[in-house]
Amino acid sequence: MKNRTKMAVFASGNGSNFQALYEATQDGRLDADIVLVVADKPSAFVLERAKQAGVPAFSFTPREYASKQAYESMLVEKLEGAGVEWLVLAGFMRLIGPVLLRTYENRIVNIHPSVLPAFPGKDAIGQTLEAGAKEAGVTVHFVDEGMDTGAIIAQRSFAVDGSDRETVERKIHEIEHQLYPESLQQLFSRQQSV
Ligand code: GRF
Q: Is 102 annotated as a binding residue?
A: no
Q: Is 94 annotated as a binding residue?
A: yes
Domain containing 18: what range?
A: 5-193
State the distance from the centre of ligand 1 to the C-alpha of 132, rounded, in angstroms: 22
CATH number at residue 32: 3.40.50.170
Q: For the sheet with 57-59, list strands across it.
A: 57-59, 32-39, 5-11, 86-89, 108-112, 135-142, 152-159
* Atom number, ligand 1, closest to the C-alpha of residue 19: 13
- Total number of domains in the chain: 1
Pocket of ligand 1 (CB under 6 A): 11, 13-17, 90-91, 111-113, 176
Distance CA 176, CA 139 (A): 8
| pTM for the model | 0.96
Annotated catalytic sites, by residue?
Answer: 112
Q: Is 152 annotated as a binding residue?
A: no
* Atom number, ligand 1, closest to the C-alpha of residue 92: 10
Each residue's pLDDT tens digit in the chain (194 positions)?
468 999 999 999 999 999 999 999 999 999 999 999 999 999 999 999 999 999 999 999 999 999 999 999 999 999 999 999 999 999 999 999 999 999 999 999 999 999 999 999 999 999 999 999 999 999 999 999 999 999 999 999 999 999 999 999 999 999 999 999 999 999 999 876 65
